[in-house]
Amino acid sequence: MSNDADVFKDIRKDYQKQLAEVDYRPLARVLGIEPDAKGAWVRFFGQKYHVSDQGVFDQDGNEPWHGVSVILFKYILLAKGSNGERPSLPTEFDWVSYREFPDAAPYNQGFKDTVENNLVKYFSGDPKGLEAFCQMWEGRDPEMGLSYQLVRKFDALPKLPLLLLFNDADDEFPAQASLLFPDYAADYLDMECLAILGQSMLLGWKKQHERA
């Protein structure tokens, strides 16, 4: 029976084969990427990764966690599949929860368990840890005037921000975390990849602290 590594290896080969046919230049404006002779540089939570038919590598030549590779592959391939056509980013949009997307149902509970519930598990009663987590992913206060103890905006991808809302536990209510998306997010990634965006934040944090 194939293990997870073998499955991803096959998926990666398929994505890389598709990327061999991509012209990155028309996608530069649409996706906010930086094309070069071999592929394109894409920012993921502020860190630059090179994406091409050779794979995904950071500026030091290291491969990221496979979930990050999938996100970056799909960010480009979904745009290529639509001939690079994407609606212009709206000047105003609504922030929505993951479950509000029409196709989210098969993944909704998994997103809740692995992302939002884990944010509560890791950071309830630990405001300094939560702030360090946000700084790790270059989160900033968007100064939106929302009634939460912590509000942070993250530039997950050039055209796709995330918004974290967090209230710690008090005498009346348990801690609560919500990771929100712009309502146009499904124009850029499918539901599985949107879920992986949140999961990658928690996994990266966990790996960093396991090494510490």
pLDDT tens for each residue of 19-67: 999 999 999 988 999 999 999 999 999 999 999 999 999 999 999 999 9
Task: Decide if pLDDT at 5 tops 70.
Answer: no
Mean pLDDT throughout 65-76? Answer: 95
Task: Decide if pLDDT at 142 tops 50.
Answer: yes
What CA–CA distance (Å, rounded) separates 34 from 146? 34
Q: Which two tokens stand for residue 163?
A: 């918004």
Q: 198, 114 in Cβ contact below 8 A?
A: yes
Residues β-bridged to residue 56: 51
Single pTM value for the model:
0.90
pLDDT band at residue 150, thresholds of 50, 70 and 90? very high
Q: Each residue of 35-68: b (16+ CB within 10 Å) or e?
A: beeebbebbbbeeebbbbeebbbeeeeeebebbb
What CA–CA distance (Å, rounded) separates 205 from 60? 20
What CA–CA distance (Å, rounded) separates 207 from 200? 10
What CA–CA distance (Å, rounded) separates 166 from 150? 5
What CA–CA distance (Å, rounded) separates 32 from 85? 13
pLDDT band at residue 8, thresholds of 50, 70 and 90? confident
